[in-house]
Amino acid sequence: MSFSTSGTLRPVILDDIRGAQKMLSGVARTTAMEGSRHLSRLVGAPVHLKCENLQRTGSFKLRGAYVRIAGLSPEERAAGVVAASAGNHAQGVALASSLLGVHSTVFMPMGAPLPKVAATREYGAEVRLHGQVIDETLAAAQEYARDTGAVFIHPFDHPDIIAGQGTVGLEILEQCPEVRTIVIGIGGGGLAAGIAVAVKALRPDVKLIGVQAEGAAAYPPSLSAGHPVSIDSPTTMADGIKVGRPGDVPFKIIGDLVDEVRTVSEDALSSALLLCLERAKLVVEPAGASPVAALLSDPRSFQGPVVALLSGGNVDPLLMQRILRHGMAAAGRYLSLRVRLTDRPGALAALLAALSVVDANVLDVSHVRTDPRLGLTEVEVELQLETKGPEHCEEVTTALREAGFTITG
C-alpha cells in the first residue's frame, strides 16, 4: 500500500492532542491497561498491554477519523467523505461519519475479508469494492473525491489524524505514569507519530520503540535516507502495518521523536498473536500483536515498566485459523515427521504405540509408497503431531530413534 499527501500542513503539537482528547470524550473509549505476568517474566520488568483492540470498531482508527471529520467545514461535511481501506480505517471512518451525520463512501479491495466489509456497512458507510490491491482501491477513492467533491480521509498522513491517534499516548501516561518504554506497531506512522508528540512533550525520558514487519519495513531505509522511500511489494500477514511508504507528515515526527524502529519476523508475529490469545485472553490481529512480537524476539532489551500497544483486534476468522497453526508450529506445538517403516502388518501400530508412550497427539497420518528412494518392502509415514513445546518435540524424536525407528525428515 502506498499513500502520499501534497501541500504544506501544520505541525502537530501537544495542544492539538489535548484538544482531540476533549473532542473524543464520550466517543472513543478509554481502553483498558492489562498487566502481563508472562511477558513481565520474560522481560524482567513489568509489562502492560494497552488494549486498543477493545476500542469501538476494534482499533484505534476511530480516534483519528473522528477528529479529522469533526474538523471539516459545514460545506465539506455536506459534500461527504471518502476513504480507501481494507479494514480498520474503513470502519473508523464509517462510524465517525455516522456519529457526525456525514455521508461516507468507503472503497475496499475486491478481496477484503467479508466480516470487515459487513462491519463497515453496518457502521453506516456506502461500500464500493474496487481493485485487487489497495493501490487500485486508493486510486478509485481519489478519483471519486475529484469527481464528487467528497473529502478524502487519509489513514495516517494528516495532522488531525495524528492528533486523534495521539490521545492513546495521553491515556498511557495517565494509566501507567511510571512507564519507561512504549512499544508501538508502525505502518504509515500516524499512530506512532501522535503518541510520540504527546509522550515526548510530557515525558521526554520515556523511550519509544516502533515495530514493523520484516517484509513491510519502509521506515528503516527511509530513516537512513532522511526522507520517505517506497519499498516494492510489501509482504506480511500483518495487513494493518503493510504500508509501502511512510507518510510525509508522520515521517518527520517519527524521525525526530521515536528512539528506535525494529523489525519482527512472521514467526514472531504469529507467536505473539497466539500468546495474546492463550495468556491474555485477548483477540488481537497480527499488526496489533507486533509490539508483543518485538518483546518475544529480544525480551531483555527493554527497560521497564513497558507498555505494549495492542492497536487492533479485527482479524478474519479464516486468517486467524491459518495464523494460529503457524504460531503453534513456531512455538514448537506442532511437529511434522517422516518415518521409514517396513511395509508389513503391525508396523504402523507399533509406531503409534511409541508415540502414545511419549504423549504425542497424532493429528494426521499419511503413507508414501511411490518414492524412488524407498525399497520394495519399505514405506514412509508422514505424521502431523501436536506436542507441548520444543522440549517435548526433542523428547518425541529421541524416543522414536531409541525405539529403532528411522526418521527421514
How does DSSP classify residue 59?
B
- DSSP H helices in 24-102: 37-43, 61-70, 74-79, 88-100
Neighbours of 25 (CB within 10 A): 9
Selecting among 50, 61, 116, 200, the annotated active-site residue is 61
Cell of 177: 505514569
393 with 387: CB under 8 angstroms? yes
- Using DSSP, state whether 344 is helix, strand or coil: coil
Is 50 marked active-site?
A: no
| Annotation marks residue 311 as catalytic | yes
Task: Name residue, grid cell 513456531.
Answer: 330
Query: Taking a C-beta distance cutoff of 8 angstroms, is the pair 136, 108 a contact?
Result: no
**At which residue does the C-alpha cell 477519523 appear?**
65
For 75, list phi and psi in degrees, rounded to 5.
-65, -40
Handedness of CA 223, 302, 273, 158 (dihedral sign): negative
Q: Which one from 104, 270, 297, 311 is the annotated catalytic residue?
A: 311
CA distance 98 to 19: 21
- Crossing angle of helices 14-23 and 159-175, in 10° steps, is 80
* Strand-pair partners of 362: 385
Which residues make beta-bridge pairs with 209?
Answer: 183, 260
H or E element at residue 19: helix 14-23
Kindly list the strands in the beta sheet with 406-407, ordered across the sheet, starting from the edge strand earlier in the chain.
361-368, 378-386, 334-342, 406-407
CA distance linking residue 273 with residue 46, whole number of Å: 20
CB 166, CB 106: distance < 8 Å: no
Mapped onto helix, strand or coil, the DSSP state of residue 248 is: helix
Cβ contact 249:9 at 8 Å: yes
- Around Cβ 72, how many Cβ atoms within 10 Å? 18
Residue 304, classified by CB atoms within 10 Å of its CB into exposed (0-12), middle (13-18) or buried (19+), is middle
As annotated, the active-site residues are 61, 311
